[in-house]
């Protein structure tokens, strides 16, 4: 469609337009609207995205990885905000978020896993994190349904969980109540004039004008047409297959806290909700835009989960789903302004989107209102990948469909 034939909605002169209505786009919209910015979200199905699949672990300590110390600081900043964030969001919407301060147990099934966990424990302690080494017997005392062969584990009482679907639904309500406008369609192209982002054209040909545009489209963020080549975020989809089992009503819970393990080199987690849902995840596959649930993926998750907690085979398997994590080159998010004036990023949260939701909302609202990134977000500027050279107009191919 040529710009001349685009319908312009004159009433739609926004302070902020957000591409993507997943939890990151929604929290950005909510916080921006709370600060008085006239805000709109463009997404065909807001409240969806990777949060529909995610287990919702808030696992800054048990999901610590070598080389990610800088990210750890941001993760911990978000952990500290979670209680107040969850209370405020529940209060604003009346929604129960399934925020459960249940802690996490990371266990080892063989001597290799045990050595790996010992290393992780040492690294956690060096990083000043709370984590307690337990014998296999003590692990089973905490979680009696664990396999008898468990060789030891780490008790981390500070790694909690939230239900990401409830979180997304609550953020949607909070946005609506704060006056955020929703355009339930696809953002087709960024519009740029005089080296500045000026708005979006949507799939139905509507031109929306805005002072600032935030690209928060998860794994799709690198594919919005009209974004200059050097400014496109280097995000890629990383597939995760996840299962949901359900405890029959009236039956006592199988697990009382999140249980994690590495089984034959594959990370595995079981996240028990108060509702009786037990989430089992997740594969990690570099397969582009593929979101097929495969027999092999389901088999491996069930096989490994059964090795960890044999009793799961009795439970109804109620859902299988695959989603796409927005991976970035250093596994950390891209937050804040780009080299194209008026275009900001909030994407690339990879394994930590749910955990980083509170801090992302605050960081983005701050930068949208002041033009300055707060100190805690400075290591996460998009410019760290050297992708922000002088903008050149070069549209990227538009996505043809929205993956899960």
Contact 34, 365 (CB under 8 A): yes
Q: How far is the CB of 320 from ligand GLY (least distance, A)?
A: 15
240 binding ligand GLY? (CB under 6 A): yes
Query: Closest distance between ligand GLY and the C-beta of residue 267, in Å?
Result: 7
Q: Nearest CA to 241 among 186, 290, 180, 174?
A: 290
Report the nearest approach of ligand GLY to the CB of residue 205 (Å): 37
Is 62 or 191 the residue whose CB approaches ligand GLY more closely?
62
Omega of the bond prior to 282 within 30 degrees of 0, cis? yes
In the set 41, 57, 180, 359, which binds ligand GLY (CB under 6 A)? 57
The correct pick among 121, 181, 273, 325 for binding ligand GLY (CB under 6 A) is 325
For residues 50 and 325, the answer to whether their CB atoms sit within 8 Å is yes
Buried b (16+ CB within 10 A) or exposed e, 152-162: bbbbbebbbbb
58 Cβ partners below 8 Å, 6+ apart?
Answer: 79, 82, 159, 160, 161, 162, 354, 355
Cβ 349 to ligand GLY shortest distance, Å: 10
Q: Smallest distance, Å, CB 183 to ligand GLY?
A: 29
Q: Which is nearer to ligand GLY, 50 or 187 (CB)?
A: 50
With CB under 6 A as the contact rule, the residue among 42, 150, 200, 282 that binds ligand GLY is: 282
Decide if residue 323 touches ligand GLY (CB under 6 A).
no
Q: DSSP of 37-77, one letter per residue?
A: --EEEE-SSTT-GGGGT---EE-TTTT--TT-HHHHHHHHH
Helix-, strand-, coil-residue percentages of the chain, each rounded to 5 = 35, 30, 40
Query: Of 35 and 52, which CB lies nearer to ligand GLY in the complex structure?
Result: 52
Contact present, 117 and 152 (Cβ < 8 Å): yes
Cβ proximity to ligand GLY: between 160 and 366 the closer is 160
356 scored as a contact of ligand GLY (CB under 6 A): no
Report the interface residues with ligand GLY, using CB under 6 A: 57, 63, 240, 281-282, 325, 351
């Amino acid at each position: 469609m040529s710009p001349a034939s685009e319908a312009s909605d004159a009433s739609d002169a926004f302070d902020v337009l957000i591409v993507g209505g997943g939890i990151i786009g929604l929290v950005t919209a909510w916080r921006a609207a709370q600060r008085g910015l006239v805000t709109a979200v463009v997404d065909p199905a807001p409240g969806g995205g990777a949060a529909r699949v995610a287990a919702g672990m808030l696992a800054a300590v048990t999901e610590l990885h070598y080389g990610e110390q800088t990210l750890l600081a941001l993760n911990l900043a978000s952990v500290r905000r979670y209680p107040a964030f969850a209370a405020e969001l529940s209060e604003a919407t009346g929604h129960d978020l399934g925020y459960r301060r249940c802690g996490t147990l990371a266990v080892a099934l063989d001597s290799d896993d045990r050595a790996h966990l010992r290393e992780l424990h040492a690294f956690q302690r060096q990083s000043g994190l709370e984590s307690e080494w337990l014998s296999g017997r003590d692990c089973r005392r905490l979680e009696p349904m664990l396999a008898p062969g468990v060789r030891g584990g780490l008790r981390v009482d500070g790694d909690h969980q939230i239900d990401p679907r409830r979180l997304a639904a609550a953020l949607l309500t909070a946005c609506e109540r704060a006056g955020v406008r929703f355009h339930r369609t696809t953002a087709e192209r960024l519009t740029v004039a005089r080296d500045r982002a000026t708005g979006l054209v949507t799939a139905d040909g509507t031109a929306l004008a805005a002072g600032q545009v935030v690209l928060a489209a998860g794994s799709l963020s690198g594919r919005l047409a009209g974004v200059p080549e050097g400014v496109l975020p280097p995000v890629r989809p990383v597939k995760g297959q996840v299962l949901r089992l359900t405890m029959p009503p009236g039956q006592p819970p199988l697990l009382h806290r999140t249980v994690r393990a590495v089984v034959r080199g594959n990370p595995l987690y079981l996240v028990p909700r108060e509702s009786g849902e037990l989430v089992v995840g997740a594969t990690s596959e570099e397969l582009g835009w593929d979101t097929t649930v495969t027999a092999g993926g389901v088999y491996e998750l069930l096989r490994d989960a059964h090795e960890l907690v044999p009793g799961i085979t009795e439970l109804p398997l109620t859902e299988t789903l695959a989603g796409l994590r927005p991976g970035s080159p250093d596994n950390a998010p891209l937050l804040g302004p780009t080299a194209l004036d008026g275009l900001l990023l909030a994407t690339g949260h990879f394994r930590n989107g749910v955990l980083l939701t509170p801090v992302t909302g605050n960081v983005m609202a701050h930068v949208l209102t002041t033009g300055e990134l707060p100190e805690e977000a400075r290591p996460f500027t998009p410019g760290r990948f050297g992708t922000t050279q002088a903008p050149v107009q070069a549209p990227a191919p538009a996505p043809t469909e929205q993956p899960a």
